[in-house]
Amino acid sequence: MYLKSRELSTKPPRAVVLDALNTTGGPGFAAGCTSLLQSHGYAVDVREGANVTVETVRGLRGYRIMVLRVHSGVFEGGAWLFTGEEYSGSEHVVEQLSGEAHMSRNPNDPRLMFAVGSGFVRHYVGGLDGCLVFLMGCDGLAVDDLASAFCGAGASAVVGWGGAVALGETDEAVLFVLGEVLEGASLGAAVDDANALGGYGSPLLVYPEAGRAWVAVG
């Protein structure tokens, strides 16, 4: 029993990168993010493009860091994460009827895609004890229902944008903040530095306020 407990305690922390915006299959953000996390001892799961599905989000649990490089937006009073799964009225019917999944469309993409909201996260996502969540899309923290749902699932802190953001800006900012916290900075200090250095069109925010004390240890 002692050996089994010791083996469990020495397992590397886990991280996940969901990159629905990489539809080319080539190397991109996820590869750089994975390299950064692995260099600091994290075991990393990656899903990209159409592999970022409603079921992928449903299965999020047990991670110390989650990086969600997906479109997002505010409608029907809440923030929604756009998956890489094309919309079908015959799929995820229960979730659609319950208001937990919705069809969505990015202005630069003619396709209709599935999106999931705070109700979906509250219902299905869990086991995120102490997790740091990055919401990389627009308006992820323009309202706080989605961030609150992730915290209800066990996350300690959620980083997201208070408004619209360009893809290059969110890539730059998240990699900067991630690098800072992995080197030992508090989340609040790293986000403040990113806002000061980046000059972004929207503020990068932390939810809840107490989450600014998050550090990448333990």
Q: How far is CA 28 from CA 46, 104, 161, 182, 189, in A?
A: 12, 24, 21, 20, 27
The mean predicted confidence, pLDDT, of the chain is 93
Q: In what order do the strands lie in the sheet with 43-48?
A: 43-48, 14-19, 65-69, 132-135, 157-161, 204-207
Residue 26 pLDDT greater than 90, yes or no:
no
pLDDT in tens, 104-142: 998 778 899 999 999 999 999 999 999 999 999 999 999
Pick the CATH number of 10-70+118-212 from 3.10.20.310, 3.40.50.150, 3.40.50.1460, 3.40.50.300: 3.40.50.1460
What is the structure's pLDDT at 2? 42
Mean pLDDT of 76-97: 96
Residue 147 pLDDT greater than 50, yes or no:
yes
What is the structure's pLDDT at 1? 42
What is the structure's pLDDT at 152? 97
Q: In which band, very low, low, confident or very high, does the pLDDT at 25 lie, cut at 50, 70 and 90? A: low
Mean pLDDT of 53-75: 97
Give the percent of the chain with pLDDT over 70: 94
